[in-house]
Amino acid sequence: MEEHKIVMVGNGGVGKSAMTVRFVQDVFVTEYDPTIEDYYHKVITIDEKECGVEVLDTPSHLEFSSMWDCIYRSGDGFLIVYSITDRSSFEQVTNYYDKIILRKDVNDGEVPIIIVGNKCDLEIEREVSYQEGHDLAQRILCKFIETSALTKQNLEEVFYAIARETKNLKRYYFK
């Protein structure tokens, strides 16, 4: 069975753990230890074929920055998550993007990355418009999607989309 390694990155509190646990276990968590780095695994079906998706939920801080090298290098595909209710998390998106490109030593567009605006159920607390997220993603040649780990809006879709991009890229290089 094909395996795809997906890495969750983004500022603390944007919902990386909530999205991961919601996708893999279908539970919404309100309190999740921000220091835990953890792997989750789920089998999904793409184009009538089963494949494994391993999701690495990264913590806010790591003791050694060299650990990030390892994390970034190990990922096949990345979800860069910000919260639509937190502008500072949005402002960090390009920073994460640059780190991925640098550490994986690839050019723009050569690694599957989706920009994710999470917490889209919190419309009254919105600080970042859909258009802003969309425009940023377009500038750096990534897909863009808004999700909610609470209501599950676009939640499965975003994991399927990144798994599909990863699968297609592997097909392209290893055919």
Please say whether the beta carbons of 138 and 144 come within 8 A: yes
Q: Which stretch binds Mg ion (CB under 5 A): 11-19, 42-50, 66-74, 138-146?
A: 11-19
Q: Is 167 in the site for ligand GDP (CB under 6 A)?
A: no
Q: Report the partner that residue 119 touches, choosing among ligand GDP, Mg ion, none (CB closer than 5 to 8 A by kind).
A: ligand GDP
Binding mask 49-88 for ligand GDP (x = CB under 6 A): -----------x----------------------------
To which H or E segment does residue 7 belong?
strand 2-9
Q: How far apart are CA 159 and CA 170, in angstroms?
A: 17
Comparing CA positions, the residue from 81, 55, 77, 59 lying closest to residue 68 is 59
Q: How many positions of this chain bind Mg ion (CB under 5 A)?
A: 3
For residue 59, with 0-12 CB atoms within 10 Å meaning exposed, 13-18 middle and 19 or more buried, which class applies?
Answer: middle
Q: Is 148 in the site for ligand GDP (CB under 6 A)?
A: yes
Q: How far apart are CA 6 and CA 56, in angstroms?
A: 6
Comparing CA positions, the residue from 170, 173, 172 lying closest to residue 3 is 170
Residue identified by tokens 């975003």 is 158
Which amino acid appears at position 174 of this protein?
F
Identity of the residue, 147 or 167, whose beta carbon is nearer to Mg ion in the bound complex: 147
Please say whether the beta carbons of 125 and 85 come within 8 A: yes
Out of 118, 137, 146, 158, name the contact with ligand GDP by CB under 6 A. 118
Q: Is 85 in the site for Mg ion (CB under 5 A)?
A: no
Identity of the residue, 32 or 68, whose beta carbon is nearer to ligand GDP in the bound complex: 32
Q: Is 32 in the site for ligand GDP (CB under 6 A)?
A: yes
Out of 8, 14, 17, 161, name the contact with Mg ion by CB under 5 A. 17
- Nearest approach, Cβ of residue 59 and Mg ion (Å): 6
Q: Which stretch binds Mg ion (CB under 5 A): 27-35, 78-86, 119-127, 154-162?
A: 27-35
For Mg ion, the binding residues (CB under 5 A) are 16-17, 34
